[in-house]
Amino acid sequence: MSQPMAHVFIVDENTFPVHLEYQFAGTTAGLKRLRYVPLYADIARVRPEDRVYFYLLRQGFYGPFRIDPDDQGVWWDKLDPTFLQDKLGRRLIYRVRVVADDVYPLAISEWDALDRYLRDPEHCLWSLVYRKLKGERGCTMIFPWEDDFLLALIKERNERETREPLRCRDGEHLTWDRATGEIRVVSGPFPAYNPGNPDHIGSPEDPLARLRTASGSETHLQAFLTQNYGRFPESDIVFGAESTICWVGNEVACGLGMQKIDLFVINEEQGTRKFRIIELKNDLPDAQMVWQLERYIDWTKRFVPGADSDNIQPALLCRNIRGRRPSRGVIDSFHEFNSAGFALPLEYIECSRSADSDGMTFYRVDYGARQ
pLDDT tens across 318-331, in order?
998 788 889 999 99
In contact, 129 and 114? CB cutoff 8 Å: yes
Residue 8, helix vs strand vs coil: strand
Q: What is the DSSP string of 144-177?
A: HHHHHHHHHHHHHHHHHTT-------TTEEEEEE
Least confident range from 5-14, 83-92, 273-282, 349-358: namely 349-358
d(CA 17, CA 180): 13
Q: What angle do CA 199, 205, 211 make, to 5 degrees?
A: 165
Report the length, in residues, of the chain: 371
Least confident range from 84-88, 226-230, 337-341, 366-370: namely 366-370
Q: Which residue has the higher pLDDT, 17 or 133?
A: 17
Fold of the CATH domain 207-364: Trna Endonuclease; Chain: A, domain 1 (3.40.1350)
What is the overall mean pLDDT for the chain? Answer: 90
Least confident range from 106-120, 173-187, 283-297: namely 106-120
Per cent of the chain over pLDDT 70 is 93
Which pLDDT band holds residue 295 (cuts at 50, 70, 90)? very high
Q: Is the pLDDT of residue 30 over 90?
A: no
pLDDT tens across 160-177, in order?
999 999 999 999 999 999
Residue 288, helix vs strand vs coil: coil
Buried/exposed code over 333-363 (b: 16+ C-beta within 10 A; e: otherwise): bbeebbeeebbbbbbbbbbbbeeeeebbbbe
Q: Which residues contact 304 (CB under 8 A, 6 or more apart)?
A: 143, 275
d(CA 35, CA 55): 23
Model confidence, pTM: 0.93
Residue 95: per-residue pLDDT: 96
Residue 133: per-residue pLDDT: 44
Residue 259: per-residue pLDDT: 83
Which uninterrupted H or E stretch holds 17? helix 16-22
Beta bridge partners of residue 34, listed in sequence order: none
Residue 135: per-residue pLDDT: 45
pLDDT tens across 205-223, in order?
788 878 878 778 899 999 9
pLDDT tens across 355-368, in order?
766 788 999 999 98
Residue 52: per-residue pLDDT: 97
Highest mean pLDDT among 20-34, 66-80, 207-221, 302-316: 302-316
Q: What angle do CA 146, 150, 156 make, to 5 degrees?
A: 145
- Helix residue ranges, H only, 279-327: 292-303
Q: Which residues contact 16 (CB under 8 A, 6 or more apart)?
A: 54, 56, 62, 176
* Residue 106, CA distances (Å) to 6, 188, 258, 338 in order: 19, 22, 32, 50
d(CA 329, CA 286): 8
pLDDT tens across 230-278, in order?
999 999 999 999 999 999 999 998 865 568 999 999 999 999 999 999 9
d(CA 292, CA 334): 12
Q: What is the DSSP string of 219-273?
A: HHHHHHHHHHTTTSTTHHHHH--GGGEEEEEEEEE-STT--EEEEEEEEEETTEE
Instruction: Work out the average pLDDT over 182-198.
Output: 94
Half-sphere exposure of 91 (CA within 13 A, CB side): 17
In words, the CATH class of domain 6-201 is alpha beta
Per cent of the chain over pLDDT 90 is 68
Q: Return the domain boundaries, the chain.
A: 6-201, 207-364
Identity of the amino acid at 116: R
pLDDT tens across 106-122, in order?
999 988 887 776 666 66
Which uninterrupted H or E stretch holds 352? strand 347-353
